[in-house]
Chain A
Amino acid sequence: MIVLQRADALLVRLYGSRYNPLYHSGAVTAALMVLLLVSGLYLLLFYRVGAPWESVARITEQRFSGLWIRTIHRYAADAAVVTALVHAWRMFAQRRSWGARTLPWLSGIALLWVTVISGWTGYVLVWDTFGQRLATEGARVLDLLPLFSEPLGRSFAGEQPVPGAFFFLNLFLHIALPIGMGVLLMVHVSRVARAKLFPSRGLMIAGGALLLALSVAWPVEMWDKADPFRIPGRIPLDIFYGFWLVPAAGVHAGWIAFAFLAVTVLLMLVPRLTRPAPEAVPPPSVVNERSCTGCTQCSLDCPYEAISMTPREDGREGIVARVDTSACVSCGICAGSCAPMVVGPPGRTGKEQLDAARRFAAARISTGDAVVVACARGAGHAPGGSLAGAPVFTVNCAGTLHTSVVETLLRSGAGGVLIVSCPPEDCWGREGVTWLDQRIFHGREAELKERVDRRRITVAKLARLQADEALVELEALRRRIAQMDMPERDLSDVDLECDVATAAAGGQ
Chain B
Amino acid sequence: VIAVARAVVALAALLGMAWASRISWALPEAGTSVLRVSARFRAEIEQTCRAATAPELEAQAAHMRQTTICENPRVAPYTLSIAVDGSEIRSGPVRGSGRAGEGTLYIDEEFRVPSGSRRVSIRIERVEAAGLAEPRPADTTATDVRRPVRRAVPPLVAMDTTLEVSSGDIVLVIYDPERETLAVRGGS
Query: Which A residues contact B (CB, under 8 angstroms)?
Result: 10-11, 14-15, 74-75, 78-79, 82, 143, 146, 149-151, 153-154, 157-159, 210-211, 214, 218, 220, 228-240, 242, 245-246, 249-250
The B27-86 residues at the A interface (CB cut-off 8 A) are 27-34, 36, 38, 40
Q: Which of A14, A158, A236 is in CB contact (< 8 Å) with B9?
A: A14
Smallest CB-CB separation from A235: which chain B residue?
B25
Most buried by A among B21, B22, B24: B21
Q: What is the bound-complex CA distance between A480 and B9, given in angstroms?
A: 36
Interface centre among A79, A149, A159, A237 (most CB of B within 10 A): A159
CB distance from B15 to the nearest CB of A (A): 8
Contact B108 A237 (CB under 8 A): no
Whether A154 contacts B40 in the complex (CB less than 8 A), given A14-B5, A234-B30, A249-B28, comes out as yes
Name which residue of chain A comes closest to B103, CB basis: A149
Query: Are A233 and B36 within 8 A (Cβ)?
Result: no
B159 interfacial by beta-carbon distance below 8 Å:
no
B179 CB to closest chain A CB, in angstroms? 15
Selected from A75, A146, A150, A250, the residue in CB contact (under 8 A) with B18 is A75
A214: min CB distance to chain B, Å: 5
| Separation of A218 and B31 alpha carbons in the complex (Å) | 30
Q: A218: which of B18, B29, B169 is its contact (CB, 8 Å)?
A: B18
Q: A75-B18, A150-B40, A234-B26 are in contact. List 4 more A-B contacts (CB 8 A).
A: A150-B106, A154-B106, A214-B18, A238-B23
Complex alpha-carbon distance, A75 and B16, angstroms: 11
Contacts of A230 in B (CB 8 A): 168-170
**The residue from A231, A238, A246, A249 contacting B22, defined by CB atoms under 8 A apart:** A238
The 4 nearest A-B residue pairs measured at CB: A229-B186, A157-B38, A237-B25, A233-B30
In whole angstroms, how far apart are the Cα atoms of A249 and B24 in the complex? 15
Contact in complex: B27, A233 (CB < 8 Å): yes
Asked if B30 and A159 make an inter-chain contact with CB atoms under 8 angstroms apart, the answer reads no
Bound Cα distance from A79 to B18, whole angstroms: 9
* Chain A residue with Cβ nearest B175: A159
Question: A143–B172 Cα gap in the complex (Å)?
Answer: 20
- Cβ-defined contact, B24 with A229, below 8 A: no
Question: Is the CB–CB distance between B23 and A236 below 8 Å?
Answer: yes
Cα–Cα distance between A82 and B15 once the two chains are bound (Å): 13
Residue pair A150, B97 in contact (C-beta under 8 Å): yes
Q: Give the chain A neighbours of B15 by CB distance below 8 A.
A: 214, 218
The answer to whether A249 and B27 have CB atoms under 8 Å apart is yes
Taken residue by residue from 89 to 123, chain B's Cβ proximity to chain A (1 for < 8 Å, 0 otherwise) reads as: 00000000111000110101000000000000000
Query: Are B10 and A233 in contact (CB-based, < 8 A)?
Result: no
Complexed CA–CA distance, A143 and B109 (Å): 13
Residues of B within 8 A of A159 (CB): 38, 172, 174, 185
A-B contacts counted at CB < 8 A amount to 124
Please measure, in the bound complex, the distance between the C-alpha atom of A74 and the C-alpha atom of B21, giving whole angstroms.
9
Minimal Cβ-Cβ distance residue in A for B24: A234
**A-B contact list, 28 entries, CB within 8 Å:** A10-B9, A14-B2, A15-B6, A75-B18, A75-B21, A78-B20, A79-B17, A146-B99, A151-B106, A153-B108, A157-B172, A158-B36, A159-B38, A159-B174, A214-B14, A218-B15, A220-B22, A229-B172, A230-B168, A231-B34, A232-B30, A232-B168, A233-B27, A233-B30, A237-B25, A238-B23, A249-B27, A249-B29
Instruction: Give the interface residue-count category, chain B.
Output: 35 or more
* CB atoms of A146 and B98 under 8 A apart: yes
Closest residue of A by beta carbon distance from B10? A210
Asked if B17 contacts A229 (CB within 8 A), the reply is no
The answer to whether the Cβ of B187 comes within 8 Å of any Cβ in the partner chain is yes
Q: Please indicate the chain A residues that have their CB under 8 angstroms from the CB of B33 in the complex.
A: 231
**Which residues of B are found within 8 Å of A158, using beta-carbon distances?**
36, 38, 170, 172, 185-186
Whole-angstrom distance between the Cβ of B48 and the nearest chain A Cβ? 27
Smallest Cβ-Cβ distance to A220: which chain B residue: B22
A246 to B23, CA, bound (A): 12
Q: Which residue of B2, B32, B97 is within 8 Å of A231 (Cβ)?
A: B32
CB contacts (< 8 Å) of B25 on chain A: these are: 234-237, 242, 245-246
State A161–B6 Cα separation when bound (angstroms): 50
A233 to B185, CA, bound (A): 21
Q: How far is the CA of A154 from the CA of B185 in the complex (A)?
A: 14
Q: Inside 8 A of A218's CB, which chain B residues have their CB?
A: 15, 18
Interface residue from B98, B103, B187 paired with A229 (Cβ < 8 Å): B187
Which of A149, A229, A237 touches B170 (beta carbons < 8 Å)?
A229
A210 adjacent to B14 (CB under 8 Å): yes
Complex Cα spacing A235 to B28, Å: 11
B31 engages A233 (CB within 8 Å) = yes
The answer to whether A237 and B23 touch (CB under 8 A), given A154-B38, A250-B28, is: yes
Residues of A within 8 A of B186 (CB): 158, 228-229
Tell me whether A233 and B40 are in contact (CB under 8 A): no
- A14 near B104 with CB under 8 A, answer no
Q: Are A233 and B168 in contact (CB under 8 A)?
A: yes
> Which residues of chain B from 162 to 177 have a CB within 8 Å of any chain A CB?
168-172, 174
Contacts of B185 in A (CB 8 A): 158-159, 229
Q: Is the CB of A82 within 8 A of B170?
A: no
